[in-house]
Structure 1
Amino acid sequence: MPLNNELPNKRPRHHETIAHVDSCPAFHQGAQPHGGAVQQLKLDKRLQDLMFPARNWHQTFCGPYDGSDAVKQALMHAGDALAATKMPAFVLSLNRIRGEGGRQGIHWSFFARGRPRPFDEVLAVLKDEVVRQGLEADGGHRPHVTICYRASETLETQAITPIDWVIDELLLAERTGTGNGWTYQILHRWKLPNTAI
């Protein structure tokens, strides 16, 4: 089953494995770094309606794939395989924001300091398992949280007060909707043990 690499407003329904910023209080408290970065850099004013609602901010680990039941079952198996490894929770330290252009528009995103080894280990387990389940290999992901897919201008790298996000849960999510009105329905959760934090 092919990967669907189109933008959200062209995806009526699809499945992916994500970590959601709901697990990181710093993304939601106005006095915390994310709120300060948005206000200090005037991101909300510069992006206006193009900035995603914070409820949609996430880190993708696997996908997006189409919204079929077969894909959902394959991703369930992949998540179960990851859970069976007892891989521990880990930290993404988001310390900058950048807006860069590509064939799919100008994306503004928070980026992490380096690539934590557990991040790549999670990607590898999920990638191997989805291939074992008959899906095409995922194209890969980097540590980041995108807040806009269609900015009107690029943004040079801006340092922010680091946001230390503990990734202690992965979610199987179904995305529906178009434009900035898209939403996630959480279908399943897998906890990562906190032993290494």
Structure 2
Amino acid sequence: MSERLFFALVPGEAERDAIHRALEAAGGPGGRPMPRQNWHLTLRFLGTVEPDGRACLERAAARIRVAPFALTLDRQGSWRGPGVAWLAPSAIPTHLTALNAASEAAALACGLAADERPYRPHVTVARKAPARDTTELPEAVPWKATAFSLMASRRDSRGAVYRELARWPLANTAFPA
């Protein structure tokens, strides 16, 4: 059975607690808040994938070698069109860029179309949010990225439900060419 899939960084409980505190310090995200168990930073949206494509993606992901890294979510804003409120880093770590590129390479190796959109790492914290200019968060969120995940997305009566299908540790080895 096909599934809607994406690669993501999934925050641990310490990061989830820090995101919650930052949102409270900022007066909330506005709109319809995302459940904290849905918070993640997408590396590459993969779309609807058949089981053999999922197996290919899992094999490709297991070969990704990017060192663990730290990032800081220190900006907030919303995109006017889709009404998505988000938190994002003002400085994108080199290893996050490398992990995004490796995720894209895995998708291409498994026959998925190239993602032509520029990569804008963010954590969606609300939907149907009012327009908000980008501002600094009153309380920054430190995040230690030590693993990445393959996630499945489905919709039910409550909205989107995300499920982790597989997880791979980030490795202290050189990024393959």
Give TM-score scaled by structure 2 length. Answer: 0.84
Deviations 1:44-95 (A, max 9, x none): 6x32xx111011010111213104213312321221121xx3x211112100
* Structure-2 change in CA distance of 1:65 and 1:74 (3 Å): farther
- The one-letter code of the counterpart of 2:56 is A
Deviations 1:146-184 (A, max 9, x none): 112321x21122322221111111111111124753222
Aligned residue for 1:135? Answer: 112
Counterpart of 1:37 (choices 22, 30, 36) is 22
Aligned residue for 1:193? Answer: 171
- Contact in 2 for aligned 1:89/1:194 (Cα 8 Å): yes
1:100 aligned to 2:110?
A: no
Aligned residue for 2:44? Answer: 62
Aligned residue for 1:5? Answer: none
Task: Give the fraction of aligned pairs with identical amino acids, expressed as a percent.
Answer: 21
SS at match of 2:107: helix
| Structure 2: segments with no counterpart, 5+ residues | none
SS at match of 2:67: coil
Counterpart of 2:152 (choices 142, 150, 174) is 174
- Contact in 2 for aligned 1:58/1:146 (Cα 8 Å): yes
Quote the RMSD (CA, aligned, Å): 2.2
CA deviation after TM superposition for structure 1 residue 24, in Å: 5.1
Counterpart of 1:157 (choices 134, 139, 158) is 134
Deviations 1:75-119 (A, max 9, x none): 21221121xx3x2111121001111213xx111100102221111
Counterparts of 2:168 and 2:50, CA distance in 1: 21
- Contact in 2 for aligned 1:18/1:62 (Cα 8 Å): yes
Runs of 4+ in 1 over 4 A off after TM superposition: none
Give TM-score scaled by structure 1 length. Answer: 0.76
**Structure 1 or 2: more helix by fraction:** 1
SS at match of 2:80: strand
Counterpart of 2:14 (choices 4, 25, 29) is 25
Aligned residue for 1:3? Answer: none
* Structure-2 change in CA distance of 1:110 and 1:180 (3 Å): farther
